[in-house]
Chains A and B, each alone.
Chain A
Amino acid sequence: MSYFSDIYKGIKTLLTGMSVTGKYFLNSRKGAITQQYPDNRDSLKMFDRFRGEVVMPHDENNEHRCTGCQKCELACPNGSIEIIWDRKVDPETGKKKKMIEKHIYHLGMCTMCGLCIEACPTDAIKWAQNFENSVYDRSYLTRVLNKPGSRLKPGVEE
Protein backbone atom coordinates (compact mmCIF):
# COMPACT_ATOMS: atom_id res chain seq x y z
CA MET A 1 0.00 0.00 0.00
CA SER A 2 2.95 2.27 0.58
CA TYR A 3 3.42 2.10 -3.17
CA PHE A 4 0.20 4.01 -3.74
CA SER A 5 0.66 6.38 -0.81
CA ASP A 6 4.11 7.21 -2.20
CA ILE A 7 2.54 8.11 -5.51
CA TYR A 8 -0.11 10.19 -3.76
CA LYS A 9 2.42 12.03 -1.60
CA GLY A 10 4.72 12.57 -4.52
CA ILE A 11 2.00 14.13 -6.65
CA LYS A 12 0.95 16.27 -3.70
CA THR A 13 4.43 17.73 -3.25
CA LEU A 14 4.61 18.40 -6.97
CA LEU A 15 1.33 20.26 -6.86
CA THR A 16 2.37 22.38 -3.88
CA GLY A 17 5.49 23.32 -5.80
CA MET A 18 3.38 24.27 -8.79
CA SER A 19 1.14 26.40 -6.60
CA VAL A 20 4.13 28.57 -5.67
CA THR A 21 5.14 29.25 -9.25
CA GLY A 22 1.51 29.54 -10.26
CA LYS A 23 0.97 32.25 -7.68
CA TYR A 24 3.85 34.24 -9.10
CA PHE A 25 2.55 33.69 -12.61
CA LEU A 26 -0.80 35.19 -11.71
CA ASN A 27 0.85 38.15 -9.99
CA SER A 28 3.39 38.63 -12.74
CA ARG A 29 1.87 41.93 -13.85
CA LYS A 30 3.04 43.75 -10.75
CA GLY A 31 5.84 41.52 -9.65
CA ALA A 32 8.64 41.91 -12.18
CA ILE A 33 11.87 42.40 -10.28
CA THR A 34 13.98 43.27 -13.27
CA GLN A 35 14.71 46.77 -14.42
CA GLN A 36 14.45 48.03 -17.97
CA TYR A 37 17.89 49.49 -17.76
CA PRO A 38 18.57 51.89 -20.59
CA ASP A 39 14.95 53.04 -20.51
CA ASN A 40 14.92 53.93 -16.85
CA ARG A 41 18.03 56.09 -16.95
CA ASP A 42 16.14 59.17 -15.88
CA SER A 43 14.64 57.61 -12.80
CA LEU A 44 17.64 55.43 -11.99
CA LYS A 45 19.46 57.04 -9.12
CA MET A 46 22.38 55.38 -7.45
CA PHE A 47 22.87 55.55 -3.72
CA ASP A 48 24.91 58.48 -2.42
CA ARG A 49 27.76 56.29 -1.33
CA PHE A 50 27.89 54.29 -4.53
CA ARG A 51 31.43 53.94 -5.76
CA GLY A 52 31.38 54.70 -9.44
CA GLU A 53 34.57 56.55 -10.12
CA VAL A 54 36.85 58.97 -8.35
CA VAL A 55 36.30 62.62 -9.20
CA MET A 56 37.75 65.86 -7.98
CA PRO A 57 35.05 68.47 -7.41
CA HIS A 58 35.78 72.00 -8.56
CA ASP A 59 33.91 75.04 -7.43
CA GLU A 60 32.64 77.85 -9.66
CA ASN A 61 36.04 79.60 -9.63
CA ASN A 62 37.67 76.48 -11.03
CA GLU A 63 39.32 75.78 -7.72
CA HIS A 64 39.88 72.38 -6.21
CA ARG A 65 41.05 71.27 -2.79
CA CYS A 66 43.99 69.06 -3.73
CA THR A 67 47.22 70.13 -2.11
CA GLY A 68 49.26 67.45 -3.81
CA CYS A 69 50.17 65.67 -0.62
CA GLN A 70 50.18 62.31 -2.46
CA LYS A 71 48.53 60.44 0.37
CA CYS A 72 46.00 58.99 -2.05
CA GLU A 73 48.78 57.86 -4.33
CA LEU A 74 50.37 56.03 -1.41
CA ALA A 75 47.11 54.58 -0.19
CA CYS A 76 46.12 53.16 -3.54
CA PRO A 77 46.86 49.43 -3.68
CA ASN A 78 46.95 49.26 -7.46
CA GLY A 79 48.81 52.37 -8.48
CA SER A 80 45.80 53.83 -10.17
CA ILE A 81 46.57 57.34 -8.97
CA GLU A 82 49.57 59.31 -10.15
CA ILE A 83 50.21 62.88 -9.12
CA ILE A 84 52.49 65.11 -11.09
CA TRP A 85 53.41 68.11 -8.99
CA ASP A 86 55.79 70.96 -8.90
CA ARG A 87 56.85 73.69 -6.54
CA LYS A 88 55.48 76.93 -7.84
CA VAL A 89 55.13 80.41 -6.53
CA ASP A 90 51.81 81.01 -4.88
CA PRO A 91 50.47 84.23 -6.45
CA GLU A 92 48.86 85.37 -3.20
CA THR A 93 51.56 84.79 -0.64
CA GLY A 94 54.51 84.92 -2.99
CA LYS A 95 56.00 81.81 -1.43
CA LYS A 96 56.99 78.63 -3.18
CA LYS A 97 54.47 75.89 -2.61
CA LYS A 98 53.77 72.32 -3.70
CA MET A 99 51.11 72.34 -6.37
CA ILE A 100 49.67 69.68 -8.56
CA GLU A 101 50.03 69.82 -12.27
CA LYS A 102 48.08 66.72 -13.00
CA HIS A 103 46.14 64.36 -10.80
CA ILE A 104 46.01 61.29 -13.02
CA TYR A 105 43.49 58.58 -12.26
CA HIS A 106 43.53 55.24 -14.08
CA LEU A 107 39.96 54.04 -13.89
CA GLY A 108 40.93 50.82 -15.62
CA MET A 109 43.15 49.84 -12.72
CA CYS A 110 40.86 51.01 -9.94
CA THR A 111 39.22 48.38 -7.74
CA MET A 112 36.89 50.88 -6.07
CA CYS A 113 38.28 50.14 -2.63
CA GLY A 114 37.89 53.69 -1.40
CA LEU A 115 41.23 53.89 0.40
CA CYS A 116 42.33 57.04 -1.46
CA ILE A 117 39.22 58.91 -0.43
CA GLU A 118 39.67 57.73 3.13
CA ALA A 119 43.26 58.92 3.06
CA CYS A 120 42.62 62.36 1.61
CA PRO A 121 43.10 64.93 4.38
CA THR A 122 41.43 67.77 2.51
CA ASP A 123 38.47 65.97 0.94
CA ALA A 124 39.75 66.90 -2.47
CA ILE A 125 38.53 63.72 -4.17
CA LYS A 126 35.27 61.92 -3.73
CA TRP A 127 33.13 59.23 -5.28
CA ALA A 128 30.90 59.97 -8.23
CA GLN A 129 27.83 57.88 -8.82
CA ASN A 130 28.36 57.48 -12.53
CA PHE A 131 28.49 53.81 -13.40
CA GLU A 132 28.46 53.90 -17.17
CA ASN A 133 32.18 53.75 -17.51
CA SER A 134 32.63 51.67 -20.62
CA VAL A 135 34.64 53.19 -23.44
CA TYR A 136 35.92 51.93 -26.77
CA ASP A 137 39.55 52.70 -26.14
CA ARG A 138 41.16 52.06 -22.85
CA SER A 139 43.25 55.17 -23.05
CA TYR A 140 40.02 57.04 -22.26
CA LEU A 141 40.07 55.35 -18.89
CA THR A 142 43.09 57.37 -17.88
CA ARG A 143 41.69 60.62 -16.63
CA VAL A 144 43.16 63.85 -15.41
CA LEU A 145 40.99 64.79 -12.47
CA ASN A 146 41.96 68.43 -12.06
CA LYS A 147 40.50 70.62 -14.75
CA PRO A 148 42.84 72.62 -16.97
CA GLY A 149 43.75 75.97 -15.46
CA SER A 150 42.36 75.02 -12.09
CA ARG A 151 44.16 75.93 -8.93
CA LEU A 152 44.15 75.17 -5.26
CA LYS A 153 41.40 76.81 -3.31
CA PRO A 154 42.92 79.38 -1.00
CA GLY A 155 42.92 78.44 2.61
CA VAL A 156 43.08 74.69 2.07
CA GLU A 157 46.09 73.47 3.97
CA GLU A 158 47.31 70.02 4.54
Chain B
Amino acid sequence: METTTNNSNFKSEEYFINMGPQHPATHGVLRLLLTIDGEIIKKVEPDLGYIHRSIEKMCERDSYQQIVHLTDRMDYLSSHINNEAVCLTVENALQIEVPDRVKVIRTIIGELTRIASHCLWWGVMGMDVGALTTYFYGFRDREMINDIFEETCGARLTMNYNIPGGLMFDIHPNFVKRVKDFIAHFKTKLPEYDTLLTGNVIFQKRTKGVGILTKEDAISFGASGPVGRASGYSCDVRKHHPYSALDRVTFNEALKTEGDTFARYQVRIQEMWESLSIIEQLIDNIPEGDYKVATNAVIKLPKGEYYQKVETARGELGVYIISTGTKNPYRVKFRSPGFSNLSLLSHIAVGGKIGDLVATMATLDIVVPDIDR
Protein backbone atom coordinates (compact mmCIF):
# COMPACT_ATOMS: atom_id res chain seq x y z
CA MET B 1 0.00 0.00 0.00
CA GLU B 2 2.80 2.36 0.89
CA THR B 3 4.69 1.86 -2.30
CA THR B 4 2.39 2.59 -5.15
CA THR B 5 -0.70 4.47 -4.13
CA ASN B 6 -0.96 7.95 -2.87
CA ASN B 7 -2.04 7.58 0.70
CA SER B 8 -3.49 11.05 0.97
CA ASN B 9 -6.28 10.02 -1.39
CA PHE B 10 -7.68 7.57 1.11
CA LYS B 11 -10.79 8.32 3.02
CA SER B 12 -11.31 6.28 6.11
CA GLU B 13 -13.80 3.89 4.51
CA GLU B 14 -11.77 3.32 1.39
CA TYR B 15 -9.31 0.54 1.14
CA PHE B 16 -6.88 -0.70 -1.36
CA ILE B 17 -6.91 -4.03 -3.06
CA ASN B 18 -4.49 -5.60 -5.42
CA MET B 19 -6.16 -7.40 -8.28
CA GLY B 20 -3.56 -9.43 -10.04
CA PRO B 21 -1.01 -10.08 -11.47
CA GLN B 22 -2.29 -13.56 -10.67
CA HIS B 23 -6.03 -13.13 -10.72
CA PRO B 24 -8.57 -15.01 -12.80
CA ALA B 25 -10.32 -11.92 -14.08
CA THR B 26 -7.32 -10.08 -15.42
CA HIS B 27 -6.72 -12.61 -18.20
CA GLY B 28 -3.02 -12.71 -17.86
CA VAL B 29 -0.41 -10.95 -15.85
CA LEU B 30 -2.07 -7.60 -15.48
CA ARG B 31 -2.18 -5.89 -12.13
CA LEU B 32 -5.02 -3.59 -11.20
CA LEU B 33 -4.69 -1.39 -8.17
CA LEU B 34 -8.21 -0.86 -6.94
CA THR B 35 -9.34 1.65 -4.39
CA ILE B 36 -12.62 0.38 -3.09
CA ASP B 37 -15.29 1.73 -0.82
CA GLY B 38 -17.08 -1.43 0.26
CA GLU B 39 -17.98 -2.89 -3.10
CA ILE B 40 -17.85 0.33 -5.06
CA ILE B 41 -14.77 1.07 -7.08
CA LYS B 42 -13.32 4.50 -6.53
CA LYS B 43 -10.19 4.22 -8.56
CA VAL B 44 -8.56 1.76 -10.92
CA GLU B 45 -4.92 1.93 -11.85
CA PRO B 46 -3.67 -0.67 -14.29
CA ASP B 47 -0.08 -1.62 -13.70
CA LEU B 48 1.65 -3.07 -16.72
CA GLY B 49 4.92 -4.62 -17.62
CA TYR B 50 4.72 -8.09 -16.16
CA ILE B 51 5.06 -9.75 -19.54
CA HIS B 52 7.10 -7.17 -21.35
CA ARG B 53 9.47 -8.93 -23.72
CA SER B 54 10.71 -5.87 -25.61
CA ILE B 55 9.45 -7.14 -28.91
CA GLU B 56 9.92 -3.74 -30.50
CA LYS B 57 13.59 -3.74 -29.57
CA MET B 58 14.02 -7.31 -30.75
CA CYS B 59 12.59 -6.24 -34.10
CA GLU B 60 15.48 -3.83 -34.54
CA ARG B 61 17.83 -6.80 -34.32
CA ASP B 62 15.92 -9.00 -36.74
CA SER B 63 15.55 -9.03 -40.47
CA TYR B 64 12.15 -8.25 -41.94
CA GLN B 65 11.29 -11.91 -42.41
CA GLN B 66 12.14 -12.57 -38.80
CA ILE B 67 10.04 -9.73 -37.43
CA VAL B 68 6.90 -11.50 -38.56
CA HIS B 69 7.19 -14.37 -36.14
CA LEU B 70 7.59 -12.01 -33.20
CA THR B 71 4.24 -10.42 -33.91
CA ASP B 72 2.63 -13.83 -33.38
CA ARG B 73 3.48 -13.40 -29.75
CA MET B 74 1.86 -10.01 -29.27
CA ASP B 75 -1.84 -10.50 -29.67
CA TYR B 76 -1.67 -14.25 -29.90
CA LEU B 77 -5.40 -14.53 -30.56
CA SER B 78 -5.15 -12.66 -33.83
CA SER B 79 -1.66 -13.72 -34.76
CA HIS B 80 -2.41 -14.05 -38.45
CA ILE B 81 -3.63 -10.48 -38.65
CA ASN B 82 -0.56 -9.24 -36.83
CA ASN B 83 1.64 -11.07 -39.31
CA GLU B 84 -0.36 -9.62 -42.13
CA ALA B 85 0.22 -6.12 -40.81
CA VAL B 86 3.99 -6.48 -40.87
CA CYS B 87 3.96 -8.14 -44.27
CA LEU B 88 1.72 -5.44 -45.72
CA THR B 89 4.05 -2.76 -44.40
CA VAL B 90 7.07 -4.40 -45.95
CA GLU B 91 5.28 -5.10 -49.21
CA ASN B 92 4.07 -1.52 -49.44
CA ALA B 93 7.54 -0.23 -48.77
CA LEU B 94 9.02 -2.46 -51.43
CA GLN B 95 6.05 -1.73 -53.71
CA ILE B 96 5.40 -5.40 -54.28
CA GLU B 97 2.00 -6.32 -55.61
CA VAL B 98 1.11 -9.69 -54.10
CA PRO B 99 -1.00 -12.08 -56.17
CA ASP B 100 -4.77 -12.07 -55.76
CA ARG B 101 -4.67 -15.55 -54.36
CA VAL B 102 -2.53 -14.40 -51.49
CA LYS B 103 -4.85 -11.50 -50.77
CA VAL B 104 -7.92 -13.70 -50.65
CA ILE B 105 -6.31 -16.38 -48.52
CA ARG B 106 -4.98 -13.80 -46.13
CA THR B 107 -8.42 -12.28 -45.74
CA ILE B 108 -10.13 -15.63 -45.20
CA ILE B 109 -7.66 -16.71 -42.57
CA GLY B 110 -7.77 -13.28 -41.01
CA GLU B 111 -11.52 -13.45 -40.64
CA LEU B 112 -11.28 -16.99 -39.30
CA THR B 113 -8.82 -15.66 -36.76
CA ARG B 114 -11.29 -12.99 -35.80
CA ILE B 115 -14.03 -15.55 -35.29
CA ALA B 116 -11.70 -17.75 -33.26
CA SER B 117 -10.73 -14.82 -31.10
CA HIS B 118 -14.33 -13.80 -30.56
CA CYS B 119 -15.28 -17.40 -29.75
CA LEU B 120 -12.67 -17.46 -27.05
CA TRP B 121 -13.77 -14.05 -25.86
CA TRP B 122 -17.40 -15.20 -25.71
CA GLY B 123 -16.49 -18.19 -23.62
CA VAL B 124 -14.36 -16.15 -21.28
CA MET B 125 -16.94 -13.40 -21.07
CA GLY B 126 -19.48 -15.94 -19.91
CA MET B 127 -17.02 -17.28 -17.41
CA ASP B 128 -16.26 -13.83 -16.06
CA VAL B 129 -19.91 -13.16 -15.35
CA GLY B 130 -20.20 -16.62 -13.83
CA ALA B 131 -21.66 -18.87 -16.53
CA LEU B 132 -18.91 -21.44 -16.70
CA THR B 133 -20.40 -23.59 -19.41
CA THR B 134 -20.06 -20.97 -22.14
CA TYR B 135 -16.32 -21.44 -21.98
CA PHE B 136 -16.54 -24.96 -23.34
CA TYR B 137 -19.04 -24.12 -26.02
CA GLY B 138 -16.88 -21.26 -27.21
CA PHE B 139 -13.81 -23.44 -27.23
CA ARG B 140 -15.56 -26.20 -29.11
CA ASP B 141 -16.12 -23.89 -32.06
CA ARG B 142 -12.71 -22.31 -31.80
CA GLU B 143 -11.19 -25.78 -31.92
CA MET B 144 -12.54 -26.32 -35.42
CA ILE B 145 -10.86 -23.14 -36.62
CA ASN B 146 -7.65 -24.14 -34.91
CA ASP B 147 -7.75 -27.44 -36.74
CA ILE B 148 -8.09 -25.59 -40.02
CA PHE B 149 -5.08 -23.48 -39.11
CA GLU B 150 -3.07 -26.46 -38.03
CA GLU B 151 -3.70 -28.30 -41.25
CA THR B 152 -2.84 -25.37 -43.46
CA CYS B 153 -0.31 -23.37 -41.49
CA GLY B 154 1.23 -26.01 -39.28
CA ALA B 155 0.47 -24.34 -35.98
CA ARG B 156 -2.66 -23.58 -34.08
CA LEU B 157 -1.92 -20.26 -32.48
CA THR B 158 1.39 -18.78 -33.54
CA MET B 159 0.95 -19.57 -37.17
CA ASN B 160 3.55 -17.41 -38.88
CA TYR B 161 1.93 -18.20 -42.19
CA ASN B 162 2.65 -14.86 -43.82
CA ILE B 163 6.00 -13.88 -45.18
CA PRO B 164 6.80 -10.61 -46.90
CA GLY B 165 5.71 -11.25 -50.46
CA GLY B 166 2.98 -13.76 -49.84
CA LEU B 167 2.43 -16.91 -47.89
CA MET B 168 4.87 -19.47 -46.64
CA PHE B 169 3.17 -22.27 -48.55
CA ASP B 170 -0.06 -22.85 -50.39
CA ILE B 171 -3.28 -23.74 -48.63
CA HIS B 172 -3.90 -27.37 -47.85
CA PRO B 173 -6.19 -29.19 -50.31
CA ASN B 174 -8.71 -29.74 -47.51
CA PHE B 175 -8.82 -26.09 -46.59
CA VAL B 176 -11.89 -25.05 -48.58
CA LYS B 177 -13.89 -28.05 -47.49
CA ARG B 178 -13.02 -27.59 -43.85
CA VAL B 179 -13.88 -23.91 -43.91
CA LYS B 180 -17.23 -24.68 -45.48
CA ASP B 181 -17.89 -27.32 -42.84
CA PHE B 182 -17.04 -24.82 -40.19
CA ILE B 183 -19.37 -22.19 -41.62
CA ALA B 184 -22.22 -24.66 -41.70
CA HIS B 185 -21.46 -25.76 -38.17
CA PHE B 186 -21.02 -22.31 -36.76
CA LYS B 187 -24.23 -20.99 -38.28
CA THR B 188 -26.13 -23.41 -36.10
CA LYS B 189 -24.10 -22.62 -33.01
CA LEU B 190 -24.14 -18.83 -33.07
CA PRO B 191 -27.90 -18.61 -32.39
CA GLU B 192 -27.25 -20.93 -29.47
CA TYR B 193 -24.85 -18.39 -28.03
CA ASP B 194 -27.74 -15.95 -28.04
CA THR B 195 -30.20 -18.28 -26.36
CA LEU B 196 -27.74 -19.37 -23.73
CA LEU B 197 -26.21 -16.08 -22.72
CA THR B 198 -27.37 -13.01 -24.61
CA GLY B 199 -31.04 -13.40 -23.79
CA ASN B 200 -30.46 -14.43 -20.22
CA VAL B 201 -32.07 -11.96 -17.85
CA ILE B 202 -29.23 -12.16 -15.33
CA PHE B 203 -26.67 -11.53 -18.04
CA GLN B 204 -28.58 -8.54 -19.37
CA LYS B 205 -28.90 -7.08 -15.89
CA ARG B 206 -25.21 -7.60 -15.37
CA THR B 207 -24.17 -5.87 -18.57
CA LYS B 208 -26.74 -3.25 -19.55
CA GLY B 209 -25.80 0.23 -18.46
CA VAL B 210 -22.50 -0.95 -17.04
CA GLY B 211 -19.18 0.64 -17.98
CA ILE B 212 -20.65 3.25 -20.28
CA LEU B 213 -18.21 4.81 -22.71
CA THR B 214 -19.35 7.85 -24.66
CA LYS B 215 -18.37 8.42 -28.25
CA GLU B 216 -16.29 11.48 -27.31
CA ASP B 217 -14.38 9.48 -24.72
CA ALA B 218 -13.93 6.61 -27.13
CA ILE B 219 -12.30 8.92 -29.64
CA SER B 220 -10.20 10.82 -27.15
CA PHE B 221 -8.92 7.64 -25.51
CA GLY B 222 -8.10 6.17 -28.90
CA ALA B 223 -10.46 3.25 -28.51
CA SER B 224 -10.70 1.06 -31.53
CA GLY B 225 -12.25 -2.16 -32.61
CA PRO B 226 -15.46 -3.43 -31.02
CA VAL B 227 -14.91 -1.19 -27.99
CA GLY B 228 -14.99 1.95 -30.12
CA ARG B 229 -17.75 0.72 -32.39
CA ALA B 230 -20.03 -0.06 -29.45
CA SER B 231 -19.90 3.65 -28.62
CA GLY B 232 -20.93 4.64 -32.11
CA TYR B 233 -17.43 5.48 -33.29
CA SER B 234 -17.10 4.10 -36.79
CA CYS B 235 -13.51 2.95 -36.69
CA ASP B 236 -13.34 -0.27 -38.67
CA VAL B 237 -10.09 -0.22 -40.60
CA ARG B 238 -11.47 -2.90 -42.87
CA LYS B 239 -14.16 -0.45 -43.96
CA HIS B 240 -12.23 2.79 -44.08
CA HIS B 241 -8.85 1.61 -45.33
CA PRO B 242 -9.44 -1.80 -46.87
CA TYR B 243 -6.40 -3.99 -47.23
CA SER B 244 -5.84 -7.38 -48.85
CA ALA B 245 -9.09 -8.62 -50.35
CA LEU B 246 -11.38 -6.64 -48.07
CA ASP B 247 -12.18 -4.13 -50.81
CA ARG B 248 -13.93 -6.78 -52.87
CA VAL B 249 -16.37 -7.97 -50.22
CA THR B 250 -19.46 -6.35 -48.81
CA PHE B 251 -20.09 -6.37 -45.12
CA ASN B 252 -21.68 -4.18 -42.52
CA GLU B 253 -19.70 -2.49 -39.85
CA ALA B 254 -21.18 -3.56 -36.52
CA LEU B 255 -22.15 -0.32 -34.83
CA LYS B 256 -23.97 0.35 -31.58
CA THR B 257 -24.54 3.62 -29.84
CA GLU B 258 -25.17 2.62 -26.23
CA GLY B 259 -21.51 2.23 -25.36
CA ASP B 260 -22.16 -0.06 -22.43
CA THR B 261 -20.90 -3.54 -21.78
CA PHE B 262 -23.87 -5.14 -23.47
CA ALA B 263 -23.34 -3.07 -26.60
CA ARG B 264 -19.72 -4.21 -26.78
CA TYR B 265 -20.96 -7.76 -26.36
CA GLN B 266 -23.47 -7.37 -29.18
CA VAL B 267 -20.94 -5.78 -31.49
CA ARG B 268 -18.68 -8.80 -31.16
CA ILE B 269 -21.52 -11.24 -31.73
CA GLN B 270 -22.51 -9.30 -34.83
CA GLU B 271 -18.91 -9.21 -36.00
CA MET B 272 -18.86 -12.97 -35.98
CA TRP B 273 -21.82 -12.98 -38.36
CA GLU B 274 -20.12 -10.39 -40.58
CA SER B 275 -16.88 -12.37 -40.63
CA LEU B 276 -18.82 -15.46 -41.61
CA SER B 277 -20.38 -13.56 -44.49
CA ILE B 278 -16.97 -12.26 -45.62
CA ILE B 279 -15.57 -15.79 -45.64
CA GLU B 280 -18.61 -17.06 -47.50
CA GLN B 281 -18.12 -14.46 -50.20
CA LEU B 282 -14.50 -15.38 -50.70
CA ILE B 283 -14.23 -19.08 -50.06
CA ASP B 284 -15.79 -20.20 -53.33
CA ASN B 285 -13.65 -18.09 -55.58
CA ILE B 286 -10.11 -18.22 -54.37
CA PRO B 287 -8.25 -17.18 -57.51
CA GLU B 288 -5.59 -19.46 -58.96
CA GLY B 289 -2.06 -18.24 -59.00
CA ASP B 290 1.14 -18.15 -57.07
CA TYR B 291 1.13 -18.13 -53.33
CA LYS B 292 4.02 -15.75 -53.14
CA VAL B 293 6.18 -13.45 -55.14
CA ALA B 294 9.88 -13.86 -54.91
CA THR B 295 11.65 -11.36 -52.74
CA ASN B 296 15.33 -10.95 -52.13
CA ALA B 297 16.72 -13.22 -49.47
CA VAL B 298 17.86 -10.10 -47.66
CA ILE B 299 15.10 -7.54 -47.68
CA LYS B 300 16.24 -3.96 -47.46
CA LEU B 301 13.52 -1.38 -47.16
CA PRO B 302 14.23 1.94 -48.84
CA LYS B 303 15.10 4.70 -46.45
CA GLY B 304 11.96 6.19 -44.98
CA GLU B 305 9.06 5.72 -42.65
CA TYR B 306 6.21 3.33 -43.26
CA TYR B 307 2.91 2.87 -41.51
CA GLN B 308 0.22 0.32 -42.07
CA LYS B 309 -2.84 -0.34 -39.99
CA VAL B 310 -5.05 -3.39 -39.90
CA GLU B 311 -8.08 -4.40 -37.93
CA THR B 312 -7.30 -7.19 -35.50
CA ALA B 313 -9.95 -8.87 -33.41
CA ARG B 314 -9.27 -6.26 -30.73
CA GLY B 315 -9.07 -3.16 -32.85
CA GLU B 316 -6.64 -1.14 -34.84
CA LEU B 317 -3.11 -2.46 -34.97
CA GLY B 318 -0.62 -0.06 -36.49
CA VAL B 319 2.85 -1.01 -37.60
CA TYR B 320 5.30 1.83 -37.91
CA ILE B 321 8.70 1.12 -39.35
CA ILE B 322 11.57 3.53 -39.78
CA SER B 323 14.16 2.21 -42.15
CA THR B 324 17.57 3.58 -42.83
CA GLY B 325 18.01 1.36 -45.82
CA THR B 326 19.74 -1.49 -44.02
CA LYS B 327 18.50 -5.03 -43.61
CA ASN B 328 17.20 -4.27 -40.13
CA PRO B 329 14.64 -1.65 -39.26
CA TYR B 330 15.91 1.35 -37.38
CA ARG B 331 12.83 1.50 -35.20
CA VAL B 332 9.62 -0.48 -35.10
CA LYS B 333 6.59 0.66 -33.19
CA PHE B 334 3.40 -1.29 -32.82
CA ARG B 335 0.28 0.66 -32.02
CA SER B 336 -1.56 -2.09 -30.24
CA PRO B 337 -5.31 -1.92 -29.71
CA GLY B 338 -5.24 -3.45 -26.27
CA PHE B 339 -3.12 -0.70 -24.78
CA SER B 340 -5.44 2.15 -25.62
CA ASN B 341 -8.49 0.07 -24.83
CA LEU B 342 -7.10 -0.72 -21.41
CA SER B 343 -6.47 2.96 -20.73
CA LEU B 344 -10.25 3.36 -20.80
CA LEU B 345 -10.71 1.05 -17.89
CA SER B 346 -9.83 3.51 -15.17
CA HIS B 347 -12.31 5.89 -16.75
CA ILE B 348 -15.34 3.65 -17.18
CA ALA B 349 -15.04 1.25 -14.25
CA VAL B 350 -15.10 3.90 -11.55
CA GLY B 351 -18.37 3.97 -9.68
CA GLY B 352 -19.27 0.40 -10.48
CA LYS B 353 -19.09 -2.68 -8.32
CA ILE B 354 -16.33 -5.25 -8.41
CA GLY B 355 -18.57 -7.44 -10.52
CA ASP B 356 -19.03 -4.60 -12.98
CA LEU B 357 -15.30 -4.16 -13.25
CA VAL B 358 -14.91 -7.81 -14.16
CA ALA B 359 -17.68 -7.64 -16.75
CA THR B 360 -16.23 -4.45 -18.22
CA MET B 361 -12.76 -5.96 -18.37
CA ALA B 362 -14.19 -8.95 -20.17
CA THR B 363 -15.72 -6.83 -22.91
CA LEU B 364 -12.59 -4.77 -23.36
CA ASP B 365 -11.18 -8.15 -24.38
CA ILE B 366 -7.68 -7.59 -23.21
CA VAL B 367 -4.77 -9.74 -24.23
CA VAL B 368 -1.98 -8.76 -21.92
CA PRO B 369 0.99 -9.68 -24.15
CA ASP B 370 -0.54 -7.32 -26.69
CA ILE B 371 -0.50 -4.51 -24.14
CA ASP B 372 2.99 -5.13 -22.85
CA ARG B 373 4.66 -6.43 -26.00
Contact = CB atoms under 8 A, between A and B. Distances in A.
Given A17-B200, A127-B154, A33 B140 contact: yes
A111 B158 contact: yes
B69 A33 contact: no
B286 to A, nearest CB: 18
Nearest to A77: B66
Interface string B115-146: 00000000000000000010010011001000
A114 B168 contact: yes
A77 B72 CA distance: 13
Contacts of B72: 111, 113
Given A111-B69, A113-B160, A16 B153 contact: no
A2 to B, nearest CB: 14
A16 B195 contact: yes
B91 interface: no
B40 interface: no
B97 interface: no
B51 interface: no
A10 B206 CA distance: 13
Interface stretch (A47-55, A57-65, A95-103, A150-158): A47-55
B69 A115 contact: yes
Contacts of B201: 9-10, 13-14
B72 to A, nearest CB: 8
Contacts of A16: 195, 199
Interface in B67-123: 68-70, 72-73
B151 interface: yes
A71 B147 CA distance: 31
A71 B297 CA distance: 10
A49 B66 contact: no
B318 to A, nearest CB: 22
Contacts of A9: 201
B65 A115 contact: yes
Contact of A113 (B69, B195, B197, B297): B69
Interface in A1-54: 9-10, 13-14, 16-17, 19-21, 33, 46-51
Interface string B141-173: 001000100111111001010010000110010
B176 interface: no
B155 A51 contact: yes
B62 interface: yes
Contact of B163 (A13, A48, A51, A118): A118
Interface of B: 62, 65-66, 68-70, 72-73, 133, 136, 139-140, 143, 147, 150-155, 158, 160, 163, 168-169, 172, 192, 195-197, 199-202, 297
